[in-house]
């Protein structure tokens, strides 16, 4: 079964919004994303030093990665997904759907 990653790079809208930003991501948005058929895990990452974007990696296991992306869009348009809280919109988050080419382990 093809695997993919939805890569999302975002920032809080301001230093004052950082707690709300993290609360929304962890307490609301990740759960909403994991309800979408095909999304099997989520991992949040932060920069080690100083200022920088936060990253979320959503692992997808599905035959049709674009169909999973379409389900995300449909849920957002229907209001089933919450609106982002504390997320910078200018510039907007970077979102990329990536297909796995190979896996290597040690």
Q: Write out pLDDT tens, residues 8-43.
A: 999 999 999 999 999 999 999 999 999 999 999 999
pLDDT at residue 50, rounded to an integer: 73
Strand partners, 26: none
Closest CA to 12 of 91, 95, 86: 86
Classified as helix, coil or strand, 61 is: strand
Question: How far is Cα 22 from Cα 62, in angstroms, rounded to an integer?
Answer: 28
Q: Write out pLDDT tens, residues 55-101.
A: 999 999 999 999 999 999 999 999 999 999 999 999 999 999 999 99
């Amino acid at each position: 079964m093809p695997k993919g990653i939805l890569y999302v790079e975002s920032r809080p809208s301001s230093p004052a919004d950082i707690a709300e930003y993290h609360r929304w991501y962890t307490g609301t948005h990740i759960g909403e994303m994991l309800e979408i058929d095909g999304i099997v895990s989520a991992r949040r990452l932060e920069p080690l030093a100083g200022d920088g974007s936060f990253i979320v990696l959503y692992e997808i296991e599905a035959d049709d990665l674009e169909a999973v992306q379409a389900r995300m869009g449909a849920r957002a348009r229907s209001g089933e997904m919450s609106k982002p809280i504390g997320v910078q919109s200018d510039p907007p988050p970077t979102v990329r759907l990536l297909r796995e080419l190979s896996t290597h382990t040690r």
